[in-house]
Amino acid sequence: MAQEHAPNKPVHLIYLVGGLLGFVLLKWTGDWIWGYFTRTPDEFMVILFAATVSLVGGIYLYRKEESYNLVNEVAVELKKVTWPTAQEVKVSTIVVVFMTLLSAFILGFFDAVWSKLTQLIYGG
């Protein structure tokens, strides 16, 4: 059975985050749908519904062999990933910020030129 050699902490963390994400999405959707039909949705009922569905769905997926094996494989593959160092992240961030500013400057320049050209043609 694949569960015997499973990295339990990452697998459980994936299920926990998935359950929390499901709860938030269900609560937001429940507020939206309930608010569509009435002026003030009953917050307790929406939270109870979202928590119940998320908990039952999470337990069902955790106990289902195919789902557990898939999450286990994801956790094993994530252990193989080579993560960037702090220095690489800093340099990459600087490059992204610089390129964003450069692109904004170039686009702003083209927008100003196009605006002046349009004013000359159409008069403004």
Claim to verify: residue 112 and residue 75 sit in the same structural domain? no
Q: How far is CA 98 from the centre of its chain?
A: 25
Residue 12 pLDDT > 90, yes or no?
A: no
Q: Which domain holds residue 91?
A: 83-124
How confident is the model over 31-62, as pLDDT tens digits?
888 878 877 777 888 899 999 999 999 999 98
pLDDT of amino acid 35: 78
Claim to verify: residue 118 and residue 75 sit in the same structural domain? no
Rg (CA), the chain: 25
How many domains, in total, are found in the chain? 2
Claim to verify: residue 7 and residue 21 sit in the same structural domain? yes
On whether the CB atoms of residues 27 and 94 are closer than 8 A, the answer is no
Claim to verify: residue 2 and residue 44 sit in the same structural domain? yes
Claim to verify: residue 4 and residue 61 sit in the same structural domain? yes
pLDDT of amino acid 1: 46
Question: Has this prediction a pTM greater than 0.75?
Answer: no
Claim to verify: residue 8 and residue 68 sit in the same structural domain? yes
